[in-house]
Structure 1
Amino acid sequence: MTSIRLNPARTAVVAMDLQPTILAGVNDQSYQILGKAEKVLAEARKVGALVVHVGVAFRDGYPEVNSRNKMFSAIKERGVLIQGKAGSELHPLSLAESSTVREREPCVYKRRVGAFSDTDLEAILRARDIDTIVLFGVATSGVVLSTLRVAADKDYHCLVVHDACADSDDEVHRVLVEKVFPKQADVLSTEEVIAAFQR
């Protein structure tokens, strides 16, 4: 069991790409992931940590998508993840029930894989003097990996909630959380993160 202690005043919990279209890619795991995410988010709200929601969505016509971008060209071809349209919304289980609480939780939409790419996420974190970020979401090899790499380079103390992440490839997920992420982050379970907030 880890002995990490999280200071809510300096910690942000960043829930990434928990959207129906993306969760469909890990369909058999989606409700397990959402259940774990819900627990971490509930604890963060209880202790007063900053909660930030990150999603990926494009404008009508996909003006942000270059034909050289394999991943996003495939999204454009499928006609999904258009901002404001079904499938691009944040999953209700990740959002606070209270509208007052929801208003305090910034939602950041990106047009690239990583949460820091072309977004105001860093400005939000700096405004609150955040030095620690707790990351989770879908996919492990997508938004989680990309965001962790940049966050570590920006000298944030990073934690990844391994059981609140998923990937369409279970082996890729395993290698990332067991071999790759520990080089730049503390990799914890949902229960360990909750305990770290309670210390």
Structure 2
Amino acid sequence: MPVTTLDTTTALVLIDLQNAVVARPAAPYTGAEVVARAVELAGAFRGHGAPVVLVRVTARPDGSDAPQGRTEIPRPPGPLPSGWDTIVEDLAGHPGDITVTKRSWGAFYGTDLDLQLRRRGVTQVVLAGIATSIGVESTARAAHEHGYNVTPATDAMTDLNAQAHLNSVERVFPLLGETATTAEIIGLLARTRPRS
């Protein structure tokens, strides 16, 4: 269902828009395209006095604090490059933004994201970032389970695989909330009463 409204207490939550993640090949949008749309959204939310949350994933250089368990796809060998987990420059450096650091796919597990949102009275989250079917979808599912209204910005996210992106956008997200484009969200935000 296309987005119909934004709550007066909506936050923008940007997932893993950091150096190493944005630099990876992605589809259907490039990392640069996603960052450009995220910058538009963040500017609109900041201008409206609404919270902007920058979520980054990190791990120790040796990977010793990575989630445990067997997977069929091995983790990258060797140490992680310096600065890989730094938020991209186009989004960083705004003192009013909230930064959340995670060590797993979703932004809620093992972090203070829910606490940060509830302290600000947030009832709805707009989600964007990389990768659609991993970090963004995991966060959307948890946000829904925590009782937030969920609005994925479908053109401000991308995946390592275009089919995985489409599966999330067309089959999963409509079960969790209302989807929208960057332009639709910015248009609705402009018609929403600013936070006082």
- Name the SS for the 1:26 alignment partner: coil
Aligned twin of 1:163? 155
The separation in 2 between residues aligned to 1:124 and 1:71, in whole angstroms, is 35
Which structure carries more relative contact order (alpha carbon 8 Å, separation 6+)? 2
Aligned twin of 1:30? 31
Percent same amino acid at aligned positions? 29
1:13-28 alignment, distance < 5 Å: 13-26=12-25
The residue type equivalent to 1:50 in the other structure is P
The 3 A distance-change label for structure 1 pair 95 and 174 is same
Per-residue CA distance 1:132-164 (angstroms, 9 max, x = gap): 001010000110110011110111000000001
- 8 Å contact kept, 1:65–1:73: no
- Name the SS for the 2:46 alignment partner: helix
Aligned twin of 2:10? 11
Quote the offset at 1:178 in angstroms: 1.4
The separation in 2 between residues aligned to 1:108 and 1:72, in whole angstroms, is 26
Aligned twin of 1:99? none
The separation in 2 between residues aligned to 1:94 and 1:141, in whole angstroms, is 22
Q: What is the Cα-based RMSD across aligned positions, in Å?
A: 2.2
Quote the offset at 1:62 in angstroms: 2.6
**Is 1:90 equivalent to 2:91 in the alignment?**
no
2:110 paired residue among 115, 118, 121: 118
TM-score, normalisation: structure 2: 0.88
Per-residue CA distance 1:78-131 (angstroms, 9 max, x = gap): 4227xxx322100011235xxxxx221111111111000110111101110110
The size of the alignment, in residue pairs, is 189
The separation in 2 between residues aligned to 1:136 and 1:177, in whole angstroms, is 12
Structure 2: gaps (5+ residues):
192-196
Structure 1: gaps (5+ residues):
97-101
- Name the SS for the 1:62 alignment partner: coil
Say which structure is richer in helix: 1
- 8 Å contact kept, 2:3–2:178: no
**Is 1:57 equivalent to 2:58 in the alignment?**
yes
The separation in 1 between residues aligned to 2:138 and 2:111, in whole angstroms, is 14
Runs (4+) of structure 1 exceeding 3 A deviation are 69-73
Quote the offset at 1:67 in angstroms: 5.1
TM-score, normalisation: structure 1: 0.87
